[in-house]
Amino acid sequence: MSDTDIRPGERAADLPPAADAQLRFIGRARTPFASRADCPRQGRLDGPDCALELDLVWADALEGLERFEHADVLYWLDRSRRDLVLQSPKSDGTLRGTFALRSPVRPNPIGLSRVRIVRREGARLIVRGLDCIDGTPLIDIKPEACAYTPEAPAKAADGA
Amino acid sequence: MSDTDIRPGERAADLPPAADAQLRFIGRARTPFASRADCPRQGRLDGPDCALELDLVWADALEGLERFEHADVLYWLDRSRRDLVLQSPKSDGTLRGTFALRSPVRPNPIGLSRVRIVRREGARLIVRGLDCIDGTPLIDIKPEACAYTPEAPAKAADGA
């Protein structure tokens, strides 16, 4: 099935072009998955080593990330259609809302993987747990929230 | 400190305008946090009820999301500068790479909160755990990954 097909029962919205904010790609994911058919549905923390290859301007932005065990990686699934409201992932007529799925088909096709940090090599971060095709554009990397304590002082709304 | 200031030691990159991909806002977050000073540094799952108010075209895209306990919410922190490579969150000269922080200052200022789903009211999803200012534009909602099993059949790379 191609990215432009629609399955029985699926509903597309009629939308103007997306124009609310602009992304800047920060690099590319290097994975052993050459095509969409090769990609797993979900990455595994014991999966193969992959690399987050950052553009050189962002190399130092990795400083200090290795002290975390896990990171959240955001990437852009640029081959996905963006207008489906209801989807039938099993192609059996059963419908789910787009926001009840982690399908790449969504109004903003941003993939999110929680990865295990293996090591840093300059502007490259070696990780496990990615599920995307080789060459996927990267948008952001954040230390995983549960292990993260903000460096800036707490504010009133953070409570005791 | 305003969003355009820079602290001692912080380094900004010289960048062309962001123009790699376009986002479409899907709605707005309604939170009790009127200003940035009111926001917690990190949302708490036992924090106040907040609403994800979707544009009506996306209302049905919430179908089936209530069967999950938690969701990942992505939002756009549109008041943040986007060019810092190294930051000093404690303003004490200690520097961290941008990707080692969950600061809103990043090349693509996308916030990510894991929230508890309280209930759905049509095009509104009531959640706890947001940390953003009232009116923040929403980009995406996904069921939390650990509790999620893809609906589509497994592929070879998903393993046994």
Question: With an 8 Å Cβ cutoff, are A139 and B98 in contact?
Answer: no
CA distance to A88, A147, B6, per residue, from A118 (Å): 36, 16, 32
Could you give the ipTM of this predicted complex?
0.91
pLDDT at B75: 98
Copy the structure tokens of residue A153: 């002082």
Residue A93 Rama label (left phi>0; alpha psi -120 to 50; beta): left
pLDDT at A1: 43
Copy the structure tokens of residue A88: 């039938």
CB B34 within 8 A of CB A157: no
Mean pLDDT over all residues of chain B? 92
pLDDT at A4: 61
Please tell me which residue of chain A has the smallest CA distance to B84.
A61
pLDDT at A124: 98
The alpha carbon torsion through B89, B95, B101, B104 (nearest 10 deg) reads: 50
Question: With an 8 Å Cβ cutoff, are A40 and B139 in contact?
Answer: no
Question: With an 8 Å Cβ cutoff, are B21 and A97 in contact?
Answer: no
- Chain B nearest C-alpha distance from A5 (Å): 16
Domains detected in chain A: 22-79+106-143 (2.40.30.70)
pLDDT at B107: 98
Ordered DSSP codes for B64-83: TGGGSSEEEEEEE-TTS---
CB B94 within 8 A of CB B17: no
SS3 B149: coil
Q: What is the mean pLDDT of residues B15-36?
A: 95
pLDDT at B90: 87
pLDDT at A105: 95
Question: With an 8 Å Cβ cutoff, are B156 and A38 in contact?
Answer: yes
How many Å apart are CA A106 and CA B107, to the nearest integer? 22
Ranges of residues in chain A with a pLDDT under 70 are: 1-4, 147, 159-160
Q: Which candidate from A18, A61, A148 shows the least CB-CB separation from B97?
A: A61
CB A61 within 8 A of CB A27: no
pLDDT at B156: 80
Write out chain B residues lying below 8 Å of A103, CB-based: 152
pLDDT of B157 higher than 90: no
How many Å apart are CA B27 and CA B33, to the nearest integer? 17
Q: Give the residue with greater pLDDT, B41 vs A142.
A: A142
Question: With an 8 Å Cβ cutoff, are A58 and B98 in contact?
Answer: yes
Say whether pTM exceeds 0.90: yes
Could you tell me which of A62, A76, A133, A52 has the C-alpha nearest to residue B106?
A: A62
Write out chain B residues lying below 8 Å of A159, CB-based: 40, 44
* % of chain B at pLDDT higher than 70: 96
